[in-house]
Amino acid sequence: MFRYEVLIGLEVHMQINTKSKIFCECSTQFGAEANSNICVICTSQPGVIPILNKKAVEGVIKTGLALNFTINRRCTFARKQYFYPDVPKNYQITQFESPLCSNGKLSIIVNEREKIINIERIHLEEDTGKLLHKIGGKKLNYSLLDLNRAGIGLMELVTKPELSSPQEAVEFLRELKNIVEYLDTSECNMEEGKMRCDVNVSVRIVGQKKLGVRVEIKNMNSISGVKDAITYEVQRHKKILNSGARLVQETRFWDAEEKVTKSMRLKENILDYRYFTEPDLVPLYLSNCFIENLYKQLPELPRIKKARFIKNYNLSEYDASYLTSSKMIAEYYEDALSNLDNKNSVTKLLANWISTELSAKLNASKICITKSPISSKNLSKLISLIQNEIISGKIAKIVFEEMYEKSIDPEIIIKKRGFTRISDESVITEICEKAIIESPNAVAEFKIGKKRAIDAIIGLVMKKSKGQADPKLVNKILIKKLN
Ligand code: ADP
Ligand code: MG
Ligand code: ZN
């Protein structure tokens, strides 16, 4: 039996976040009625001329700058020829020899170890239309074509084959998605097909120099799918190699229902795209000033933000990681914090409520934090009620549930349900007296020196007061009475 090494390279497509398409003025809006966002250019009518969208170029460059790429000062566009109805003009405009960005890198952390993944290039191209072969699970005996997506600006990022496990591929995609969401250069919404990827996998015997035979799995649209597909493919390769058979280079796809990869086409059938320079678009010359300007527009990126959260807000590594794991969560946290008076003393408490209570609720109901029923403003009100000891932590959890359900201000809930803390001594004394009468055993134990027995009586007082009695006062009054 041999020991094998896995090599994975990813080709990631991300739709660039622009209002209009890359070569025409049609809207990029997702979910519009089929073929409502189209014109003569994106439907490939003969004789039309593409006009490059500057914002799309800017989006690619910003992404490149954030990932340590070299931005090429002169780049060209190319025609990639192939016949398929989703690109009616029979070629796709893309970049071939001189992409916008070359030689970038992304750092990932797997099993607490950092690894730098080199990225070959990011190039700009146009997205294709969408073919529909079935409706609601029912297979059609014809195909429908929707060209709304055709001509939306796409950036394609191609890594070196340096990822060596499904976990590393997952981490790479997560980190990339997070950075690009911070940059806002793509929405990266995988459900809407705004981020998709092709996965190249090969396996070789440890020590062997030559790369193993590669299989490409096309069009993955979820990170968990990528993980499953790689895991499956690596097992398949090892089995074939162990049996002494040979692997063939081919393109496969992931069948998410059967959880297997299936062959699409073999290497012999790989298309010759006959790339040549796009005659309708002049080469692009980028000035230093243009690039420097975009560099200045880069926002604070996740790793830097995380370090700042740890330093400025005194947060743990765990909390800071969670809060910066998406731009939206980080914004929610800082919004909530900005509403609070005594910021320094509540940074951890607030982080905690977000990373535990709120995240559990949002996960369970599959809601993004931007759509949280509890606004950052209302959560900061809840935190300030706890901080000012107006309600106990226990009551706060009950209030939180109701806030989540009804999306309302915690102060309204507290007023309506009479949840404010009882700190009137005479009221508490009365409850303590009742509790003492009802707990003869605990009282007896306390008197023979078992001081912990008082906890049972405190518990009873809290229960009787529905958690509203001020615990410090209860403790003080009980000790006085028992002694
Ligand atoms: P193509 O354009 O045919 O898809 P490329 O050479 O541009 O081929 O490679 C595409 C992707 O495949 C890159 O991400 C690259 O890292 C990856 N790749 C190339 N060879 C291998 C290999 N032997 N094993 C795993 N990945 C590979
Ligand atoms: Mg490829
Ligand atoms: Zn158009």
HSE-CB for 278 with a 13 A CA cutoff: 26
In this structure, are strands 250-255 and 4-15 parallel, antiparallel, or unpaired?
unpaired
Q: What pLDDT is attached to residue 342?
A: 85
pLDDT in tens, 240-256: 999 999 999 999 999 99
Nearest Cα residue to atom 24 of ligand 1:
202
Cβ partners under 8 Å of residue 103, min gap 6 = 69, 70, 118, 119, 120, 121
Q: Please determine, for residue 270, whether its predicted confidence score (pLDDT) is greater than 80.
A: no
| Region 38-64 average pLDDT | 97
Q: Tell me the three state secondary structure of residue 419.
A: coil
Going by pLDDT thresholds of 50, 70 and 90, the confidence category of residue 23 is very high
- Which residues line ligand 1 at a C-beta cut-off of 6 Å? 7-11, 158-161, 200-202, 211-212, 214
Ligand sitting nearest the alpha carbon of 38? 3
Q: Angle CA(412)–CA(417)–CA(423) in degrees, nearest 5?
A: 100
pLDDT in tens, 74-121: 999 999 999 999 999 999 999 999 999 999 999 999 998 999 999 999
Q: What pLDDT is attached to residue 95?
A: 97
Q: What pLDDT is attached to residue 415?
A: 85
Report which of 286, 340, 343 is spatially closest to residue 314, judged by C-alpha positions. Answer: 343
Report which of 311, 316, 348 is spatially closest to residue 333, judged by C-alpha positions. Answer: 348
For 164, phi then psi, to 5°, come to -125, 15
Q: What pLDDT is attached to residue 206?
A: 93
What are the structural domains, with CATH classification, of the chain? 4-293 (no CATH), 302-417 (no CATH), 425-482 (1.10.10.410)
The alpha carbon of 2 and the centre of ligand 1 are apart by a number of angstroms equal to 24
Going by pLDDT thresholds of 50, 70 and 90, the confidence category of residue 268 is low
Top-confidence residue, 170 or 416: 170
DSSP class per residue in 135-150:
ETTEEEEEEEEE-SST
Q: How far apart are CA 463 and CA 481, in angstroms?
A: 19
| Region 455-481 average pLDDT | 86
The alpha carbon of 287 and the centre of ligand 3 are apart by a number of angstroms equal to 29
Rounded alpha-carbon distances, angstroms, from residue 261 to 165, 223, 237, 258, 427: 17, 16, 12, 9, 70
For 98, phi then psi, to 5°, come to -125, 90
| Region 314-334 average pLDDT | 95
Q: Give the nearest ligand 1 atom to 201 CA.
A: 25
pLDDT in tens, 134-156: 988 899 999 999 999 999 999 99
Instruction: List own/partner pairs for 426-429 with CB under 8 A and 24 or more apart.
Output: 428/461, 428/465, 428/469, 428/470, 428/473, 428/474, 428/477, 429/477, 429/481
pLDDT in tens, 30-41: 999 999 999 999
**Across the chain, what does the average pLDDT equal?**
94
Q: Give the nearest ligand 1 atom to 211 CA.
A: 23
Nearest Cα residue to atom 5 of ligand 1:
158
Residue 40, burial from CB neighbour count under 10 angstroms (0-12, 13-18, 19+): exposed
The alpha carbon of 257 and the centre of ligand 3 are apart by a number of angstroms equal to 35
Going by pLDDT thresholds of 50, 70 and 90, the confidence category of residue 51 is very high
Q: Please determine, for residue 471, whether its predicted confidence score (pLDDT) is greater than 90.
A: no
Nearest Cα residue to atom 17 of ligand 1:
9
Q: Please determine, for residue 269, whether its predicted confidence score (pLDDT) is greater than 70.
A: no
Nearest Cα residue to atom 11 of ligand 1:
9
Q: Is residue 124 within 8 Å of 96, Cβ to Cβ?
A: no
Q: What pLDDT is attached to residue 468?
A: 81
Q: Please determine, for residue 293, whether its predicted confidence score (pLDDT) is greater than 90.
A: yes
Nearest Cα residue to atom 7 of ligand 1:
158
Q: Is residue 252 within 8 Å of 262, Cβ to Cβ?
A: yes
Q: How far apart are CA 478 and CA 13, in angstroms?
A: 67
Q: How far apart are CA 111 and CA 167, in angstroms?
A: 9
**Biggest alpha carbon distance in the chain?**
100
Which range among 18-32, 360-374, 462-476 shows the weakest confidence by mean pLDDT?
462-476
Numbers of helices and strands, H then E, in the chain: 16, 16
Ligand sitting nearest the alpha carbon of 119? 1
Q: What letter would DSSP give residue 356?
A: I
C-alpha radius of gyration, the chain, whole number: 30
The alpha carbon of 383 and the centre of ligand 2 are apart by a number of angstroms equal to 51
pLDDT in tens, 207-245: 999 999 999 999 999 999 999 999 999 999 999 999 999
Q: What's the predicted TM-score (pTM) here? A: 0.85
Q: Which residue spans within 55-174 are E strands per DSSP?
A: 70-71, 74-75, 78-81, 91-94, 101-110, 113-126, 130-135, 138-146, 153-159
The alpha carbon of 12 and the centre of ligand 2 are apart by a number of angstroms equal to 10
pLDDT in tens, 371-424: 999 999 999 999 999 998 888 888 899 999 999 999 999 999 988 887 777 878
Q: What pLDDT is attached to residue 449?
A: 86
